[in-house]
Structure 1
Amino acid sequence: MSKLFGTDGVRGRANHYPMIPELIVRIGRAVAHYVPGRSDRAPRVIIGKDTRLSGYMIENSLVAGLLSHGADAILVGPVPTPGLAHLTRSMAADAGIMITASHNPSCDNGIKIFDRDGFKLTNELEAAIEKMVLSEKVENGPERVGRARRIENAAARYVEFAKASVAEFSLDGLRIVLDCANGAAYKVGPMIFEELGAEVDDLATSPNGTNINENCGATSPARCRARVLETGADIGIMFDGDADRVLFVDSNGHLVDGDAILGLLATDYHSRGVLKHDTLVATVMTNLGLDRALEAKGIKTIRTAVGDRNVIEAMRDGGFSLGGENSGHIISLAHTTTGDAIVSGLQVLRILLNNPGKSLSDLTMFVKLFPSKLVNIKVKSKPAIEDVPELMAALTECEETLGRDGRHLVRYSGTENLIRILVEASTEEQVQEWSGKLVAVTRAALT
């Protein structure tokens, strides 16, 4: 059996390993084993999900595992991932489990696990759970069998929480196109923005179990862009399937990505004195242009490995307040414990309304993204990159030539036999030149 946990929980094709009922029951048992209960009661675990049909199968399998190991389960139904993290804290649960494959197609599903404080599990705890799940040993459970109950209105708690993130703030007069990806935010998304006063034109809010992320949401912006231009809306907001990432379209139909939004929020936080240590936490995939734009405004940028969990870990370790990924994961620890598309969207709208007459592109134009090119190459094996001398020589030459005006990032995929080669530079010509050289050397050495 292979490793279970990837960069963001367990994920795979539904009804195929590892997303099969037999293994998911074992995950439920392992969570119940390693999550401590309170002194006066058994462990309590909240389970939420997105809108995939396979969510029913996985939900019941998790419940069986949890109850068989003495934990109680609370089922809250479809709710955004950040909503599940919030409910885990606000309902004094000992853990939260979100059933979702995020931006993946409906044929996939996954499991994200949160601790009692609403943060994703540490690497050490994930490793312990994984070891127990993959063990061949089968043990009897405790004498106590847990209970399960369903709460129908739990998502309403998240609605009020999200609205409170922009206290005494009104969206009156703002026209929004809101694409919910037929996912977890299909109900609460429109509700939150409408209750704050916006005129909402909602898209992809009719999930049928198989249409999540299908030609909609943050991974397919064309539909939202077309509707913004057609209706003359002030802004378009797009979630992914579990609403932990968000992208935007401005009033002119221009796509505004995660790097630009991070720049906007960082400068806003800095101007209000709430950007702790004058630092933004981003990942290695963040465009070098963001670093340069923020550097000019007195803001530092530190980078982590890919994955919002790595960003959050660096934020907590360093006492930083804002971080995220260019994919649209935005984390503001003053408000949330994980990426939150809705809360991030509200923060952007606050800035937009405080700058009348300006579009979102106007507000983010100071972030001049460097030209870049990402190439994926299939490889036969994955030797350590430092053990491939011809590639190391080419990388060193690239670094020396580009200096501060460019960079490369070469890394293997965590799930496929692929190597990813990213080149950024101040000119398109440099990008094409060095991307071509690195790709040629890589193909000669590894394919």
Structure 2
Amino acid sequence: MSDKPHRIVIVGGGAGGLELATALGNKYGKSDAVRVTLVDRSRTHIWKPLLHAIAAGSLRRSQHELNYLAQAHWHGFHYRLGEMNGLDRARKVIKLAPVIDDEGREINPESELAYDTLVIAIGSVTNDFGTPGARDHAVPLETPEQASRFNKRMVNACLRAQHQHAPIEPGQLHVAIIGAGATGTELAAELHHTAREIIAYGLDKIDPEHDLKIVLIEAAPRILPALPPRISDATLKLLLDLGVEVRTGARVAEVLDHAVRLADGEVIPSELVVWAAGVRAPDFLEGIDGLDTNRINQLVVRPTLQTTRDDNVFGMGDCAACAIPGYENGVPPRAQAAHQEAEFMLEQIEKRLKGEPLGEFRYRDLGSLVSLGKYSAVGNLMGSLVGKSFLIEGYFARFMYRSLYKMHEAALYGRGRTLLSVLSGSTRPTPTVKLH
């Protein structure tokens, strides 16, 4: 047996990657036989389903950010600040781009990191399908920084309207959200509330019923096209009751400076545009060092989550395409899928270290939930006892939605601490000094 530790490198500190690193650190952190390293280009983690609330301004980043360096210290793994930009499978190393700070100074030089087991879990980025103007004029919601950027732009738009001498122009305080999946739909509902809250802080020149408008644009025939129709119908009714304008079957042809042009030529004036339609894996993954990737750059993986051409390289989460029965596009890009894959990968690595045969991933669809902010939530739960799904709305749906986040927190902080925080209202653990 080798005296060197087995080097497990996890690239990507999203929901799945961070949960896996934490679990492995808890298990092997005190062992000399295994070294676990998490690589991420950010310094902090925020559960991605919260980004729409950060963008709307109903949630503060600081209350939900987890520092990677502190988490690694507390749970026995190592954290490496960096962004993967290459792979050398023959030498079993990943390549990391140099890290430059806001002042242009180098923090980490270009480097390499060796592995024995590599898990790529870098998530997804927005797919604008090459739509003209989307990259220049629309704000995506991939990162906390982008969500904060949108929120600042929204507040600034309200302040500008309050202090300008000219009357508020049509479209000046309009928000166009392109893509009516979960992110776009949840953002539309949150914005309806938070924009009015902003105006209530003395911005009396703005009439929220007359000047504010939220338009949700979806190319598919219905909103939430990936979810069951009855969830889509229930959500649509709630949005229409709020006054959100919903445009389905509407394909965006171009994003302009202050407007969106549809394929039929109609122009929708809008001060702010959010692009929440479609995802793809980052471009650098396309055919990386000979690995098999699909048309949206996802790593094609077997049911073991190993890549098809290298048993030492695994893929999980949104950046991986794993075929499963009943799902045309494989494992869906959902938080519950990332959580399940993290639990499965922990078992896989344990088996790999023991030299045992690996298992095959089985996705368990627990249902789908959509949060509509303070107004409601809607979704379906998969009833294992009754053998079918059932629709839930209102308070119970909101409770179940929050439970998903608590499940993520339990994986990171432990069930006892998470339960204590629920009962006592205490906050999550934080480092004694500011690390980011």
TM-score (norm 1): 0.25
Where relative contact order (Cα < 8 A, 6+ residues apart) is larger, the structure is 2
TM-score (norm 2): 0.26
Higher normalized strand content (fraction of residues) = 2
